[in-house]
A = this chain, B = another copy of it.
Amino acid sequence: MNKVNIAEKFSAFTEYWSPKIAGELNGQQVKLVKFKGPFIWHYHEHEDELFYVVKGSFTMEFRDKNVEINEGEFIIVPKGVEHKPDAKDEVWIMLFEPASTLNTGNTENELTKKELDIV
């Protein structure tokens, strides 16, 4: 039952697209991740995913539209919906999602992170 300071945690790592676990509750995890550049198209078969922007902004691309998410905003991507985050500049994201969620969803490749570090 210690508090977590988000900015401190983000200062503890530099890699992009590599979510770190910052908290766990009810089978869900709070993950912190830095995005920069384009990610890949993917979806999560079983998990809805929340992206909250702590710092910066990014574009969530869907097959039928793009949504720009700015600091202090979040978006929930329902399971099954293809999406592709793209960040022109570095952006800090807090994710809420089930502990089982893989970062690349249905598309496993060299970007896939299976064993997440705790930050």
Contacts and interface: CB of A to CB of B under 8 A. Distances in A.
Interface in A67-82: 67-70, 72-78, 81
Interface stretch (A25-33, A35-43, A106-114): A25-33
A2 interface: yes
A112 B105 CA distance: 39
Interface string A84-112: 00000000000011100000000000000
23 contacts: A1-B67, A1-B75, A1-B77, A1-B78, A2-B67, A3-B67, A3-B68, A3-B69, A3-B74, A4-B74, A4-B75, A23-B74, A23-B76, A25-B48, A25-B78, A26-B28, A26-B98, A28-B28, A28-B96, A30-B74, A30-B76, A30-B96, A54-B72
